[in-house]
Structure 1
Amino acid sequence: MKHIKHLILGTAFFLALLSLAACSGMSAQDRGTVVGAGVGAVGGSVLTGGSAVGTVGGAAVGGVIGHEISKP
């Protein structure tokens, strides 16, 4: 079961990175927000053992941090 969780998490992370390739028209701040939200979601999921609340919370916090860091 643990192997399947790691496979699903790795696949989701890869697909998230792949989908960012379609974001070439975004500003640097938009990309920072999206990347921060993606990394935060993965981190929140890992830290809380796959909890939906942890994943959403991590995405929210990561998005805010990514938005603020990439301000011009």
Structure 2
Amino acid sequence: MSSKEKGMVIGTGAGAAAGAAVTGGTVLGTGAGAALGGFIGNEIGKAL
């Protein structure tokens, strides 16, 4: 697994957890958090 892929997987999980926590566990909040976290993790993974 490349560093880009690792970053994306970790970011997606962290984003989903944060989105769920902030929105009280709504599906939309969890999904949005996962998408944003995956994007950020992907960008960080590219930089490594």
Q: TM-score range by the shorter chain?
A: over 0.9
Q: Rg bigger for which structure?
A: 1
**2: CA distance between counterparts of 1:55 and 1:42?**
7
Pick aligned residue for 1:48 from 13, 23, 46: 23
Take 2:26 and 2:15, find their aligned partners in 1: how far apart are those partners? 13
- Compare relative contact order (CA 8 Å, sep 6+) and give the higher one, 1 or 2: 2
Matched, 1:28 2:3: yes
What is the CA RMSD across the aligned residues, in angstroms? 0.7
* Structure that is richer in helix per residue: 2
Q: Give the gaps of 5 or more residues in structure 2.
A: none
Unaligned runs of 5+ in 1: 1-25
| Identity level (%) | 51
Letter in 2 for 1:52: V
Q: How many residues align?
A: 47
Whole-angstrom distance in 2 between the partners of 1:71 and 1:31: 10
Which residue number corresponds to residue 39 of structure 2?
64
For 2:33 and 2:2, how far apart are their aligned partners in 1?
Answer: 22
